Amino acid sequence: MRAALRWKWSGHGRKQMADAVPVRVYIAVGANIEPERNITAGLMLLAKQVDIRAVSTFYRTPAIGHADQDDYLNGVIAIETVLSAHELKLDFLRDVERATGRRRSADAYAARPLDLDILLYGEHVIDDGEIEIPDPDITLRPFLAAGLLELNPSLTLPGDGRRLAERIDPGVIAALKKEDAFTRKLKES
């Protein structure tokens, strides 16, 4: 196993959260550099610190803005955590990304070994310059909507009040390329 996979998150602030109520959070998971290996490794690291409740089907999608890049594997997971949205995104998820080799650059669409983004954090609406929840890409990227709807078919977007299923064309979701073998492997591990 790679040295990076022996990583252990320091858990900044975990003592103050001992009595906190867990929040259901939906996280987008994607990669296009050794995606099968890095997504599996990333989920193993996540599972050491948060309760992964469900894993959606993963889809093969073309890279955005870079026709020369390999395709991405994209899916959604549901977790429960007592971390705040900021701690989860800016500390924990970024640490997991770094542990699998992610190095951020000025190119927002650069190839990456792992990309973890909070799509929904309970019923919260947050837009403070650091994070934006619900993630505005939910309705723009069909693989995100497909993963969310698989995990929660009656999902209503916080702050919007409309069911996600009413905002998405089912034909677009049906046209996505499923990665069933990889998804099965993830769910069995």
Asked about 115 being catalytic, the answer comes back as: yes
Q: Minimal CA–CA distance to 10: which of 80, 74, 99?
A: 99
Asked about 51 being catalytic, the answer comes back as: no
Residues with Cβ within 8 Å of residue 121, at least 6 apart in sequence: 23, 25, 85, 88, 133
Residue with tokens 């109520």: 21
> Of the residues 91, 98, 103, 112, which is catalytic?
112
Which residues on adjacent β-strands are paired with residue 71?
Answer: none
Asked about 117 being catalytic, the answer comes back as: yes
Calpha distance 2→100 (Å, rounded): 9
> Of the residues 2, 94, 102, 141, which is catalytic?
102
> Of the residues 6, 37, 71, 117, which is catalytic?
117
Q: Minimal CA–CA distance to 56: which of 68, 43, 69, 70?
A: 43
Cβ atoms of 83 and 4 within 8 Å: the answer is: no
Residue 102 CB coordination number (10 Å): 20
> Of the residues 14, 60, 91, 115, which is catalytic?
115
Calpha distance 110→69 (Å, rounded): 9
**Residues annotated as catalytic (active site), given as ranges:** 102, 112, 115, 117
